[in-house]
Every structure is written in structure tokens, then in C-alpha cells.
């Protein structure tokens, strides 16, 4: 299966499985372990059934309270899917986001990793302790906040940087067809781009300041047990 194929959902445009990536130590990432996605507000009944049949058991919503107010999650109080909200942009709103300058994304990811360490640790703790089944994490576009969590998960299990960057880059192609993109004003559509340089610079920062993504994750307070639980959830032990 190709890594970049979107799940066949009617209400999202950027929902993808993180399975199938080769790691540097000869393993591969599991299918049905993690889904990254954009906003789930427009999911149809058919979409919901597809996701639940796919194995969905946990959702981690990375949006702010302001965003939730306008587009609440369809999985609030769901009987079979655990829903969690951990905001990675405390004051995020369309008005705030629309005022960001052209080069904002080059520093946004690094700033998020430095200023929101408590929230990132909370997300990773939820992942480590989630019940068995597929975990879906998402924000509004499924590109920035979702992209940072995807980077950390892929990097933790030693997926090569080139594949982490490739996974990030495809978001723009998917988002061009989304209502989220179409609602943006012409002069801020640059915020929808997922240029490879944005993720490459983030990975370079991690290399220069922490050496590895695992070292960064340890630096924010994640211990051996938590890290081991995430790896076991994500890695297939069969040699590829």
C-alpha cells in the first residue's frame, strides 16, 4: 500500500495511516495503529462506520476551545470511542491564524515544541495508555499541530527523516480540495503549504539541540515505560 493514499472518507481530505514505513533498524510501522487527520466535523454516517470498522478506539483532538466552539467533534461522548482534547495552540482561532506572516510556519513548529512541552507530553501519555485499537489525532487542517505529533511518532521509531518530510509534504495536495482551504483568504493561502523546508528545519533544530527525537521526548519528561509502550504500539517486529 502507498503511504500517501488518503482514507476514503467523504468528510475529510487529509486522513492518512502512518503504517508501512521502514525504520532504520529493519522494522516497519504498523497499519491501523495511528491515523493523522484534519477536522472531523463533516464526517458522514458512512465515514464514521468506516472508521469504527477500521479499528478506531481513541481520538486526540489538538484544537483550541475556540475552534471546538465553531466545529465541535462528532465523537464527544461516543459510546465506543474515547475522545480527548489537548490544545496545542491555546488561543488558536481563524482570525489569529489568518494574521500570521509568510514565514510563520518555519518557526511555528519549533516554538510549539518549546512552549507546549506539557501538552505534547500529555498527548504522548494518552497515546501510550490508550486502549487497544486505532488512535486518530487531528487538528483543523491536519498539517501543523498534527504534523508535529506525526513527526515525533515517526522519529521515535527511527523512520528516516526523508520519509518524515515526505509524509508532511503531501498535506498541501490533499488540503487544496478541502473546505478549510477554500475558506481561507487569497493572501493567506501560504499557510496551507507544507513545504519540505518547514519540516526539514524542524528536524535540523532537533538534531542540533537534542541529537534525536527520542532525546527530545525524554527531555519533556517521558520515561522509559511510556516510550516503550508507544514503540510497541507502532512497530511491527517482523523484519521487512
The model's pTM is 0.89
Residue pLDDT, tens place only, 158-169: 999 999 999 998
Residue 24, classed as helix, strand or coil, is coil
Residue-level pLDDT at 184: 55
CATH for 16-228, options being 3.30.430.20, 3.40.640.10, 3.90.190.10, 3.30.930.10: 3.90.190.10
Residue pLDDT, tens place only, 106-152: 688 899 999 999 999 999 999 999 999 999 999 998 999 999 999 99
Residue pLDDT, tens place only, 188-203: 455 666 677 789 999 9
Q: Which of 175, 159, 126, 123 is nearest to 16 (CA)?
A: 175
Domain boundaries, the chain: 16-228
Neighbours of 186 (CB within 10 A): 6
**Cell numbers given for 68:** 471546538
**Phi/psi at 194 (nearest 5 deg)?**
-125, 60
Residue-level pLDDT at 166: 93
Residue-level pLDDT at 6: 84
Residue 18 has pLDDT above 90, yes or no: yes
Residue 3 has pLDDT above 90, yes or no: no
Amino acid at each position: 500500500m502507498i503511504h500517501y493514499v488518503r482514507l476514503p472518507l467523504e468528510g475529510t481530505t487529509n486522513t492518512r495511516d502512518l503504517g508501512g514505513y521502514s525504520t532504520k533498524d529493519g522494522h516497519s510501522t504498523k497499519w491501523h495503529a495511528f491515523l493523522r487527520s484534519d477536522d472531523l466535523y463533516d464526517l458522514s454516517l458512512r465515514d464514521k462506520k468506516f472508521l469504527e470498522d477500521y479499528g478506531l478506539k481513541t481520538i486526540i483532538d489538538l484544537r483550541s476551545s475556540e475552534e471546538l466552539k465553531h466545529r465541535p467533534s462528532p465523537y464527544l461522548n461516543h459510546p465506543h470511542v474515547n475522545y480527548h482534547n489537548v490544545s496545542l495552540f491555546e488561543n488558536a482561532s481563524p482570525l489569529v491564524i489568518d494574521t500570521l506572516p509568510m514565514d510563520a510556519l518555519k518557526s511555528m513548529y519549533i516554538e510549539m515544541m518549546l512552549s507546549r512541552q506539557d501538552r505534547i507530553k500529555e498527548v504522548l501519555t494518552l497515546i501510550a495508555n490508550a486502549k487497544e485499537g486505532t488512535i486518530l489525532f487531528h487538528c483543523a487542517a491536519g498539517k501543523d499541530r498534527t504534523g508535529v505529533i506525526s513527526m515525533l511518532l515517526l522519529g521515535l521509531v527511527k523512520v528516516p527523516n526523508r520519509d518524515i518530510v515526505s509524509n508532511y509534504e503531501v498535506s498541501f495536495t490533499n488540503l487544496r480540495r478541502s473546505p478549510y482551504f477554500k475558506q481561507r483568504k487569497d493572501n493567506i493561502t501560504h499557510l496551507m503549504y507544507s513545504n519540505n523546508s518547514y519540516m526539514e528545519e524542524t528536524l535540523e533544530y532537533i538534531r542540533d539541540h537534542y541529537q534525536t527525537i527520542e532525546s527530545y521526548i525524554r527531555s519533556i519528561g517521558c520515561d522509559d515505560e511510556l516510550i516503550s509502550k508507544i514503540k510497541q504500539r507502532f512497530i511491527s517486529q517482523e523484519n521487512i
